[in-house]
Amino acid sequence: MIVDVSKKILIVGLGLLGGSYARVLKRFGFHISAITKEQSSIDYAMEQNIIDEGSVRLDKKIIGEADLVIFALYPHVFVEWIEKNQGLLKSGAIITDVTGVKGSIVYKIQEILRSDCEFIAAHPMAGREVSGVENSTDTMFVGANYIVTPTEKNTQEAINTCMELGRLLGFTNVTTLAPKEHDEMIGFLSQLTHCIAITLMTCNDKENMERFTGDSFRDLTRIARINDVMWSELFVANKAALLEQMNLFIDKFNQLKTMLEEEDIDSMRKMMRHSTQRRALFDKK
């Protein structure tokens, strides 16, 4: 094991994800500490025995002793934290994150970070529709993807450490992607999908529709219940890639609209067969 259990792990931001990380990693015997905003989160995590120590202040001892620091913060809060507080980090510390966009974060952090620390970025593709350490679980990562997004500035050792962290956390698929590829993929699979859901949910305010709603509409709008603070920030942080995916979608949707206007049944059926075939690829294996 590359990440041996004598190492101290610090989690900055003890919410749903940070708390779930703590729960799983504590089981392996790591020393787990946490820095977070709310005392109630620290109290809960101490009571539940998912952290060894924690603080709502920038505790120099806790931060200075950590070998591995996991940032589970909003993107701009993460960047600000590094700008202001990186002097407190231990020399040689490896830091990683959970941010859902990469290109706009990874290079910025790597550029400003002290040269005796290393930032290796990762995106744990898991979540729930609830938040807070109180909702954290130790089973959230089973079946999910963990994507490490190294740059040419990263050492192989840090990449290996980060991938091993993903495996320890229980992710089923641990893999690497370039930041740009990651952002394209997430722009399509996750962000475009949320754009569509909130558009569908708000484009027709006619009353009483819910009386006739079936499973199809419910499926397409499950994620229309959305954290507006987080997602608006993530959309802007991935603006170029998301706009590209939105344009691909609009072009295709307009093609379908033209087919309908022209009653071009053959083209519609061809598109539907393409859709059916391609959907088969995405079935859960």
> Is residue 222 close enough to count as binding its own copies by CB under 8 A?
yes
> Is residue 260 close enough to count as binding its own copies by CB under 8 A?
yes
C-beta of 97 vs 183, nearer to its own copies: 183
Shortest Å, Cβ 70 to its own copies: 21
> Is residue 145 close enough to count as binding its own copies by CB under 8 A?
yes
The token pair at 7 is: 């190492």
> Is residue 130 close enough to count as binding its own copies by CB under 8 A?
no
Stretch that binds its own copies, among 30-38, 54-62, 90-98, 267-275 (CB under 8 A): 267-275
Q: How many residues bind its own copies (CB under 8 A)?
A: 86
> Is residue 57 close enough to count as binding its own copies by CB under 8 A?
no
C-alpha span between 155 and 169 (Å, rounded):
22
Shortest Å, Cβ 73 to its own copies: 18
Shortest Å, Cβ 153 to its own copies: 24
C-alpha span between 99 and 106 (Å, rounded):
9
> Is residue 253 close enough to count as binding its own copies by CB under 8 A?
yes
Taking the alpha carbons at both ends of the chain, their separation in whole angstroms is: 29
> Is residue 225 close enough to count as binding its own copies by CB under 8 A?
yes
Stretch that binds its own copies, among 16-24, 77-85, 164-172, 237-245 (CB under 8 A): 237-245
**For the residues of 232-283, what is the DSSP string, one character each?**
HHHHHHTHHHHHHHHHHHHHHHHHHHHHHHTT-HHHHHHHHHHHHHHHHHTS
**3-class DSSP assignment, residue 148:** strand
